[in-house]
Amino acid sequence: MPDVTTTQPRRGTTELHPRWRATLGDYVVALGISADGQLCVIGAGDGRVVGLDVTSGRELFAVHAHHGGVLDVSIAPDGSRFATCGPEPTAKIWSRTGALIRELPGTRGTWVEHVAWSPAGARLAIAAGRRFRVCGPDGEPMFDSDTLPSTVTGLTWRDDGTSLAAICYGGVHIVPFVAGAKPRTLAWKGSLISIAWSPDGKVVACGSQDSSVHFWRMASGHDSQMSGYPFKPKALAWDHESKLLATGGDATITTWDFRGKGPENTHPIVLAAHKGVCTQLAFRPRSGVLASGSQDTSVLLWDPRRGAQEIGFAFLDDEVTALVWDRTGRALAGADASGGVTLWEVA
């Protein structure tokens, strides 16, 4: 187990106080909090999906959802359902009480590896192998993609729900759900492993297998690259104003400023305090505060616009595998590779 003494918070930082802690006993793969702030859904490596009460941490349900482990979890915006997938040829839709509603087949019997509800909850995207499918809220198929050059490695919706982006080797494939709009491909000769679409819809950023971050400006199609990361940048996060893009790929967090003529030919904001590689990033809703998690078990809070020193800290028991704010920004949930889950109060 990592040594939690390797990271020492500096003077002036505030320790986060946990509202509750829970232990699942296995690697936490995915975690989500419903928009009403009442339900926390957790997917574990042993195939269980567990629901916890956000206020108390009390277990509401636990179901064995997928043989071989859970790969992804997505909660519908209205909180009435959630979707999961695992190393099986079907995704599953569950009620908020943990009752199975429906199974959704993937494509050609391949594993379903990604699930993502659209922002309004009218559509559910699932990815299996080299194809992805969009279903209606009850699971009826609405759209099937063509076969992509390689396995889909990520899905994300534009914030207004008008388009879906899927990444793989060769670029970003964007499907619009607006009458008259045409699909679009943002080509890149490399394997993309993470994606973050800015809230204003103007920029798509991706982490690449070659340890770089590539981004495209949607209006012009112009693209740029940030290189020099020691490790693959799997963690990406935009602030709510679409002005700051935080990126992992090292123990330090590199934050790029998209205001004015940036980030090209500008110096990024470098946030250094973690001792292990940054694994999770999440900006607080309607705020410039950034939460980060690391392989060294530390969870840190930052305010990049005001300085490069951390402003809050906490520790889990193992590598941080999930980090999610509730919709109000007053609670932050984190999970680790040993199965621990903690919810902190944030002033």
* Tens of pLDDT, residues 148-176: 999 999 999 999 999 999 999 999 999 99
Dihedral over Cα of 304, 307, 308, 313: its sign: negative
Which of 263, 304, 297 is CA-nearest to residue 278? 297
Query: Average pLDDT, stretch 128-134?
Result: 96
SS3 of residue 116 by DSSP? strand
pLDDT at 38: 97
pLDDT over 70, % of the chain = 97
Letter for the amino acid at 340?
G
Domain span at residue 280? 238-347
Q: Is the peptide bond between 87 and the residue preceding it cis, with omega within 30 degrees of 0?
A: no
Torsion of CA 239, 244, 245, 248, to 10 degrees: -90
Torsion of CA 87, 38, 27, 205, to 10 degrees: 70
**Res. 4: pLDDT tops 90:** no
Whether residue 95 is contained in a domain is answered as no
Whether residue 323 is contained in a domain is answered as yes
Residue 329 CA, distance from chain mean position: 16
Query: Average pLDDT, stretch 134-147?
Result: 90
Condensed to tens digits (0 to 9), the pLDDT of residues 171-217 reads: 999 999 998 999 999 999 899 999 999 999 999 999 999 999 999 99
d(CA 71, CA 87): 7
Which pLDDT band, with edges at 50, 70 and 90, does 10 fall under?
low
Which of 143, 157, 73 is CA-nearest to residue 112? 73
Whether residue 339 is contained in a domain is answered as yes
Whether residue 284 is contained in a domain is answered as yes
Whether residue 304 is contained in a domain is answered as yes
- Name the E strands within 177-311: 184-197, 203-208, 213-217, 223-226, 236-238, 244-247, 253-257, 269-271, 278-283, 290-294, 298-302
Which pLDDT band, with edges at 50, 70 and 90, does 5 fall under?
very low
**Res. 299: pLDDT tops 70:** yes
Q: How many structural domains are present in the chain?
A: 1
DSSP state of 4: G
Phi/psi for 302 (5° steps) reads: -135, 160
pLDDT at 107: 74
Whether residue 102 is contained in a domain is answered as no
Which pLDDT band, with edges at 50, 70 and 90, does 260 fall under?
confident
Task: Give the pairing type, strands 312-315 and 14-15.
Answer: parallel
- Average pLDDT score, the chain: 94
DSSP state of 137: T
pLDDT at 139: 83
Which pLDDT band, with edges at 50, 70 and 90, does 12 fall under?
low
Beta-carbon count within 10 A of 263 CB: 21
Which pLDDT band, with edges at 50, 70 and 90, does 229 fall under?
very high
CATH number at residue 343: 2.130.10.10
Letter for the amino acid at 171?
G
Whether residue 11 is contained in a domain is answered as no
Whether residue 104 is contained in a domain is answered as no
**Widest CA span of the chain, in angstroms?**
57
